[in-house]
A and B are shown apart, each in its own frame.
Chain A
Amino acid sequence: MQWETVIGLEIHVQLATKTKIFSGASTAFGAAPNTQACAVDLGLPGILPVVNEEAINMAIKFGLGIDAEINKVNVFERKNYFYPDLPKGYQTTQLEKPIVGAGHVDITLTDGSTKRIRVHHAHLEEDAGKSLHEDFHGMSGIDLNRAGTPLIEIVTEPDIRNAEEAVAFAKKLHSIVTTLGICDGEMSQGSMRFDVNVSVRPKGQKELGTRTETKNLNSFKFMEAAIFKEVERQIELIEDGGTVIQETRLYNGDTGEARSMRSKEEANDYRYFPCPDLLPVIIDDSRLEKLKAEMPEMPDAKKARFITDFGLSDYDAEILSADQATAHYFEATVSVSDDAKLSANWIMGDLSKSLNQNGMSIPESPVSADMLGGLIKRIKDNTISGKIAKEVFEVLWQGECSTADEVIEKKGLKQVTDTGAIEAMIDEVLASNAQQVENYRAAPEDKRGKMIGFFVGQCMKASKGKANPGMVNQILKQKLDG
């Protein structure tokens, strides 16, 4: 039987505020346990939460970024359950009146097609703390630094049909929130976490199958793997005559194993009610207008501009516009190099290779956009060849010099473009390879193209890579074909 997969995602995005959503404690990552958990975060008696204005602004910006309706009246509710990392006994969240209404995100698939994924809504809520289960004399340790960190939970419609679309959506969302500056995008620190709802149904069937939810996936890779695994499990189960039960599952990225999570007892009865400690938050037009004016260029608009203004391919434009840092770097490089295509190639090629090898991100690159732009400028004006440029790049990466010109000068890498000098060098190469010259001349026309490579190689070697390859080719051909 042909099966169709139906996927909906819930994404928790940590907002990049300096303080918690309801308290003035810091949200900085990596602090010593419980040093950033104040009385409000601990839920001590007598506390009163006060909403962080910036969390509201960031959530609105997200809504504007996905073309969603912004709800002007916002009510916070209590979702009641008991767990040690939730000291208040409830999570303050939104249910009936989420801040962001229905919107949409367009994704680009590998075959170049685009697909619209509808967002059902996004609501504001607080994060919980962390439980550490290493053995503390048979007890668990609780760190509440994360408790009260502002989150938006983004809920999609079940529009996603496979793992590729899910990953494309997740990446696009990452690009949107980092462009907006509302999330640092650090997946390894849990800044974006995905819950994946998966069901399968016979192709053509209208009703949805029973879904399972795999929670807390914190990388694109894990999400993809978890989807593959779950789809396979459900299909096998049904084909063997079983039925899928609605449950929460956990996927372990390190072992690649998934298991059913012992469901929290009667966990789905959260007894929501409006939080009496918080008044409704009203979003007025002046706030909306101010935030609209502050909106940066979104990835889709940026991509379109890169294609029209710089003549980039769809593929290149997609990659270079995906995150703010890369887009900035690209534009800064082009402003110096004045060559968009070469700049794109270098950023997606040598630069990203070096960054990957060193586990660095673009803002940490030892080769700045200015430096790379200066290097590309010298390729463009024929001062150096593309091959020598790689050498120059390496020197810049090592931090030995601060500009390409300095490297070229110091190491004497300037390309030889003097016709006389190149001719003399070619003559020498031809003289010392008389046999090959004879073979070449005896060879039929269609074989010669390949054979000339040998001479080009010899010439480049003789010039230590500094001869202009175009000129070498041209003069060689003239001399050999005589």
Chain B
Amino acid sequence: MAIDASGIKKVAHLARLSIDDNAVEATTATIGSILELVDRMQAVDTQGVEPLAHPLDAIQRLRPDIVTEENQREQLQSCAPAVEEGLFLVPRVIE
């Protein structure tokens, strides 16, 4: 599973990470070597092995359906850069 520079740029964009143009080559090589490792692992015969959803051998505890979190807006919005009428303000998004 090889990856080239354009693949790296695409993945970086999807993850909203900025990579300097002059760092693209090095990143491609690093990620490429990780993918080589993945390729090697994929060569292992895993027929009949359940995919691992979580490394811990435990199951999820469930929570009763009871309201435990009351309004904390003031506190939670204290770190927001812009707030108005109780809303978080963000750069305009139009679909």
Contacts and interface: CB of A to CB of B under 8 A. Distances in A.
Contact of A280 (B13, B60, B65, B69): B60
B44 interface: no
A142 B65 contact: no
A281 B14 contact: no
A35 B88 CA distance: 12
A17 interface: yes
B67 A25 contact: yes
B85 interface: yes
B63 A50 contact: yes
Contacts of B13: 266
Chain A interface, >50% SS class: loop
A140 interface: yes
Interface stretch (A131-139, A172-180, A373-381): A131-139
B54 interface: yes
Interface in A32-49: 32-40, 42, 44
A305 to B, nearest CB: 31
B60 A281 contact: yes
Interface in B56-95: 56, 58-69, 71-73, 76-77, 82, 84-95
Interface stretch (A239-247, A270-278, A467-475): A270-278
A24 B71 CA distance: 11
Contacts of B86: 32-35, 143
A415 interface: no
B86 to A, nearest CB: 4
B60 A54 contact: no
A261 B62 CA distance: 38
Nearest to A44: B76
A394 to B, nearest CB: 43
A282 B78 CA distance: 39
A262 B95 contact: yes
B54 A39 contact: no
Contacts of A254: none
A141 B89 contact: yes
B53 interface: yes
Chain B interface, >50% SS class: loop
Given A140-B92, A266-B14, A269-B14, A280 B54 contact: yes
B77 A139 contact: no
Contact of B91 (A56, A80, A139, A282): A139
Contact of A132 (B51, B63, B87): B87
A166 to B, nearest CB: 24
Contacts of B64: 53-54
Contacts of A262: 95
Interface string A417-428: 000000000000
A278 B60 contact: yes
B93 A84 contact: yes
Contacts of B10: 266
Interface residues of B, number: 39
Contacts of B67: 18-19, 24-26
Nearest to A133: B94
A328 B8 CA distance: 61
B13 to A, nearest CB: 7
A96 B51 contact: yes
A23 interface: yes
Given A34-B86, A50-B61, A133-B92, A279 B54 contact: yes
A53 B88 contact: no
B82 A139 contact: yes
B77 A34 contact: yes
B16 interface: yes
Contacts of A54: 64-65
Contact of A142 (B15, B60, B63, B89): B89
A437 interface: no
B68 A24 contact: yes
Contact of A53 (B62, B77, B85): B62
17 contacts: A24-B66, A24-B68, A33-B86, A34-B73, A34-B87, A38-B76, A39-B76, A51-B60, A51-B62, A82-B16, A84-B88, A84-B93, A131-B93, A142-B87, A143-B87, A266-B10, A266-B13
Interface of B: 10, 13-16, 51, 53-54, 56, 58-69, 71-73, 76-77, 82, 84-95
Closest 4 pairs (CB-CB, A-B): A24-B68, A141-B87, A54-B65, A38-B69
Given A53-B62, A279-B60, 17 more contacts: A19-B68, A24-B68, A32-B73, A34-B87, A34-B88, A38-B69, A38-B72, A51-B61, A84-B88, A131-B93, A136-B87, A140-B89, A142-B89, A266-B13, A271-B14, A278-B54, A279-B56
